[in-house]
Amino acid sequence: MADRPETALLDRLAVALAAARAVLERRARTLDDLNVFPVADGDTGTNMLVTVRAVERAGRECAEAPWAARCETLSRAALLAAQGNSGMILSQLVRGAAAALAEPGPIDGPRAAAVLRGASDAADRAVRRPVEGTMLTVARWMADGAEAAGPEAGIVETLDAAVEAGRRAVAATTDMLPALRAAGVVDAGGLGVLVLVEGLAAALAGREPPGAGPEADGPPPPADHAPSRYRYCTSFLVEGPLDLAALEAAIAPLGDSLLVMGDERRAKVHVHTDAPERAVAAAAAHGAIGAPSVQDMRRQEAERAARLARPSAPRSRCAALCLVEGAGIAVLARGLGAEVLEVPPGEAPGEGALVAALAALGAPEVVLLAARPDLTHVLEQTAAAVPGAAAVVPAASAPAALAALVALDPELGAAENAAAMAGACAGVRAGAVDADGVRLDGEPLVPAGGLREGVVLLLTRVPEAELVTVLIGAGAGVAPEEVEAWVREALPGAEAEAHEGGQSAPALLVGIE
C-alpha cells in the first residue's frame, strides 16, 4: 500500500470539502437562527463554518505531506480553530474521521463507513455527558446508515445511505430534546453535520450541491428563548503535558457547558462562564494557554432575537410603514415588503399604535405612507417625531400607495426611496366606482348604471392606460375574475389585475397606470 492514495482521489476529496463548505456557508445563517440548545446564542452555523474553513485551509497547505501526516494536520487544525459547542464537537468528528482516513488500505465504500463511525465514536468519547438529540445523535445514525449500505457499496452509495439516515436523525432530534420540542425546531448542529456530509456526497458524485432554498428550512423558530445562565462562551487551547481530568476539575466550578477535548499534549477548553479570565487562570496552572476566544452570549442572544423578530424581511436599511383600511389591501401591502397598520374606516390611528408599529420596524430609516389620503397629515406629524431618517410619501389613493411600495428598495435610504416612490405614485390615476356612478381623481361624480358600466365608463376616459389594478370593496359582491373581464372588455390592450381589497368604500378602487 502506497503511503498516499492516488492524487485524483485526494483532489476530489479537496474539491468535495470545498463544495461542502460552500453549502454550509449558504446555510450558516439558517443554522444560527435554529440554534436553541444548549444556549440560544445563534452561532451554530458560524462556529461550524470556522472549523470547516480551518480544515480546508490546512488541507491545501499540507498538500505535499505524507498522507498520515496530512490527516493529523487536519485534525489539529480543527481543534485549534474550534469555537463554541458545535465547533468543538465538530473538531472531534473531524479528528475521528481523519484518524480513520489515515489508516492504510483502499479508500472505498466500507472506508467511508469507517470514517463516519470513527467520527461518531471520537465525538461520543470526547463529550463527557453526551445528550441525545444533538450532533452526536446525527453522526451516530449516519454511521449506522453507512454501515447498513454493506461492504459492496461504493463511496457515493455509502454516503447517500448515511445522508438518508442523517435526515431521519435530524427530524428525530425535535422529539429527543425538550428545548427543541418547545421551540418546534430540529437541532442546528445536527442539521449542520447532515448538510456537510450531504455536500460531500453530492460533490463526490459530481452532482451540484443541494440548494439552500427557503423551503428547505421550514418556518423560522420563535425568537424568544431561555437565556444562558452565564454570559461568556469562552474557549482556549492548553498545551502541556496535560492531565485532562485535573484540567476539567479545575474549570468545572466556574461555569457550565464545559468541554475539554484533545489529548495529553494539547486540549481545547470550552466553557460558559461569567469569569473568562478566571477560567484561563485556572487552566494556566496546567499548561500554556493559546488561541483564546470569548463571545458575549447576551449580545448574541439579543442579535438572534432581533433577526428573528422580523423573519420575512432581510436586514435592511430602510423599511416602510403603510396605513391601510381593508384587510385585502393590508395583505397586498405586506406582500410588497411593507409593515402595515390597519386603520378602521373613518378613524385615524391611535398614537400608541403608531409608535408601536414604528418601533417594530427594526430599520434605521423609514418611509411612511397611507393608502387613505386623509391620513397623510397624521404621518407628517409622526415623521417629525421619529429620531432617525424618515420621509413621507403622499399617496393620493390605495392603488397609488401600492404602486409606491412596488418601488421600495430596502437597500436604499429613506430620502432616495421616498423620491422613487413619489415618482411611482404620481403616475397612477385613481378611480372610484360605486353603484350610482364613478369619480376619476376626485372629480365630481359621473352617474353610471352599475359597477360594470362604471368600470367601462371610467376606462373610456383613459384610453392610454397600460395597467389597471382594481381593489374590490367589502360589500361589492363581485369576483376578481369578473372585474378583470370588464377591464379587458373596455381596454383590450391593457393588463388587468383585480384583488379583494376589503375597503368599506368605494365598491371598487381603480388604479390606472
Q: Which is nearer to another protein, 39 or 363 (CB)?
A: 363
CB of 97 to another protein, least distance (A): 20
Strand partners, 341: 323
Q: Which is nearer to another protein, 118 or 399 (CB)?
A: 399
Q: Which is nearer to another protein, 156 or 261 (CB)?
A: 156
Indicate the Cα dihedral angle 312, 313, 319, 322, nearest 10°: -20
Task: Confirm if 492 and 486 have CB atoms less than 8 A apart.
Answer: no
Task: Confirm if 32 and 43 have CB atoms less than 8 A apart.
Answer: yes
Whole-number Å distance between alpha carbons of 60 and 497: 56
CB of 339 to another protein, least distance (A): 15
Residue 155 Cα to chain centre, angstroms: 32
Q: Which is nearer to another protein, 253 or 427 (CB)?
A: 427
Task: Confirm if 350 and 390 have CB atoms less than 8 A apart.
Answer: no
CB of 335 to another protein, least distance (A): 4
CB of 409 to another protein, least distance (A): 7
Q: Which of 83, 25, 43, 37 is nearest to 187 (CA)?
A: 37
- Residue 344: how many CA atoms within 13 Å on its side-chain side? 3
Whole-number Å distance between alpha carbons of 45 and 35: 8
CB of 165 to another protein, least distance (A): 22
Whole-number Å distance between alpha carbons of 421 and 198: 44
Q: Which is nearer to another protein, 336 or 435 (CB)?
A: 336
CB of 380 to another protein, least distance (A): 27
Q: Which of 51, 44, 18, 50 is nearest to 29 (CA)?
A: 44
Q: Which is nearer to another protein, 88 or 322 (CB)?
A: 322
**SS3 state at 469:** strand
Task: Confirm if 86 and 135 have CB atoms less than 8 A apart.
Answer: yes
CB of 464 to another protein, least distance (A): 11
Strands (DSSP E) along 394-491, which ranges?
A: 429-434, 437-440, 446-447, 467-472
Residue 270 Cα to chain centre, angstroms: 26
Indicate the Cα dihedral angle 98, 103, 106, 110, nearest 10°: -70
Task: Confirm if 468 and 511 have CB atoms less than 8 A apart.
Answer: yes
Task: Confirm if 94 and 197 have CB atoms less than 8 A apart.
Answer: no
Q: Which is nearer to another protein, 269 or 324 (CB)?
A: 324
Q: Which is nearer to another protein, 352 or 493 (CB)?
A: 493
Q: By the criterion CB under 8 A, which residues form the site for another protein?
A: 7-8, 11-12, 14-15, 18-19, 22, 26, 203, 206-216, 314, 316, 331-332, 335-337, 402-403, 406-407, 409-411, 466-467, 469, 495, 497, 499, 513
CB of 132 to another protein, least distance (A): 30
Q: Which is nearer to another protein, 123 or 363 (CB)?
A: 363
Q: Which is nearer to another protein, 216 or 288 (CB)?
A: 216
CB of 406 to another protein, least distance (A): 6
Go through 459-478 and write b for each residue having 16 or more CB atoms within 10 A of its CB, e for each that does not: beebeebebbbbbbbbebeb
Instruction: Give the C-alpha distances (Å, rounded to integers) separating 221 from 37, 217, 458, 474.
Output: 12, 10, 48, 35
Q: Which is nearer to another protein, 184 or 214 (CB)?
A: 214
CB of 208 to another protein, least distance (A): 5
CB of 401 to another protein, least distance (A): 12
Whole-number Å distance between alpha carbons of 112 and 194: 15
